Amino acid sequence: MSASVDRDHIALSESFQLVIRVEGSMRAEEPDLAPLERNFEVLAATAIPVSRSRTGRSESATTWQISLMARHAGELTIPAIEVGGERTQPIAIRVSEDPPPASAAAREVQLQVETDAAEVHVQQQLLLTVRLLHAVNLNRGATLEAPEIPDAVVRELGEDSYEKLVDGRRYGVFERRYAVFPQKSGELVVPALGFHGRGGRRRWLVRPVRWPRKMLRLRSEEKRIRVLPPRPARSPGCRRACSR
């Protein structure tokens, strides 16, 4: 039994492949992936049985392809993985923090969250817009988290798709809008929202080009909104008096 990785130096936002190969069996037991959970997120695991004949002898093996993403940066170790009572050797990898982009247009996928005000009253509507810009095609299965905001009522208003030029670069844009109604005064925190998906080839290429399907994981920044007490209700008489 052997284990290997396709890369031993990766960025925090990138996925990589752990390959476990069990010789002599096309029906090897499933590997115990629980030890990975501490430092890695298991995105997918696929078994590939192989049988072939070489120089009059038949050979069989099972290869497990396991897609992983590190939970944090640093010098990490893929621990020994047990398969049918045997264990692989640990593998050391280096995970780097993602470098900041030189400009907004330098990133192929961006996640933006905007509000239409920095201050509202209790029960007053706050418009929240979540916008995903992508210069690469996104494969099916991509997920964009919906906001869950304590002490507020959140209602989805709708979504749109369109294109946008940013510093001369064309992006596809997926936009989703929410109405947020704070229920008490104080500070309203819109938590960081996450996007998880896999990117395909670059968009708007004249000739199709195979592009690495890199796993993408983004998080937006928190938004903090000041919520004032409810506006005092004015009686009809007051309105008439004030309008004179």
| pLDDT in the model for residue 202 | 47
| pLDDT in the model for residue 225 | 95
Task: Kindly state the greatest CA–CA separation across the chain.
Answer: 105
**H or E element, residue 241:** helix 236-243
Higher confidence at residue 120 or residue 243?
120
| pLDDT reading at 104 higher than 50 | no
Q: Which of 18-27, 85-94, 108-117, 170-179 is predicted with the least confidence, judged by mean pLDDT?
A: 18-27
Phi and psi torsions of 178, nearest 5°: -135, 145
| pLDDT reading at 58 higher than 90 | no
| pLDDT in the model for residue 193 | 92
**Predicted structure pTM score:** 0.55
Give the separation between CA 28 and CA 179, rounded to whole angstroms.
52
| pLDDT in the model for residue 163 | 84
| pLDDT in the model for residue 79 | 94
- As to burial, measured by CB atoms within 10 angstroms (0-12 exposed, 13-18 middle, 19+ buried), residue 217 is middle
3-class SS of residue 204? coil
| pLDDT reading at 210 higher than 70 | no
Q: How confident is the model at residue 131 (pLDDT cuts 50, 70, 90)?
A: very high
| pLDDT in the model for residue 183 | 96
